[in-house]
Amino acid sequence: MTSKRKIGIFSGSFNPIHIGHLALANYICEFEDIDEVWFMVTPHNPIKQTSELMNDEFRLELVKLSIEGYHKFKASDFEFKLPKPSYTINTLNELRKHYPENDFCLIIGSDNWHLFPRWKQWEDIIAHYSIMIYPRPGYDIDESTLPDSVKLSKAPIFDISSTFIRNALKKGKDIRYLLHPNAYKTIEEWL
């Protein structure tokens, strides 16, 4: 009997995806107990406003362009087909139904861990899935307080945000080294 592959679910708006996302996911694939990272492009996050969101398909295309050639990454539009708003518990349960050959691990930032009790059925997520928390500036975590299913990643802190990227683009800044070259070229053509 073959063991299940461990898939890290890195869910987010990726509005747009940037080198911080890519470097973090790369670290997790190479240095943590994760076989693949699936970039789960979220159409609508119930906690965030949607007015700043780039088109769903465009964000997905930027992810695909940015991860091209690295076999441990996958771009996913799985949540596009689920009822909206997207709730993580629903996504994880549906993934388990569709891909029973995999074990799924939710990848979230320490900033989101501090908000976790606001998530729909957060206790069920902890009870039925593993969670990997990556560090975010200003959101320290006491590892001794974490449930058994939750692990703190040793990933370095990548202090860059999609908001920063969007604002820089609006100001006409040349930020080519903060985005994958394929994504930067596509965004430049789009602007």
pTM: 0.93
5-190: CATH class: alpha beta
Segments making up each domain of the chain, as ranges: 5-190
DSSP string, 125-145: HHHHSEEEEEP-TT----GGG
Q: What is the per-residue pLDDT for 86?
A: 82
Is the pLDDT at 114 greater than 60? The verdict is yes
Q: What is the mean pLDDT of residues 144-166?
A: 95
CA distances from 120 to 3, 40, 107, 144 (A): 30, 18, 16, 24
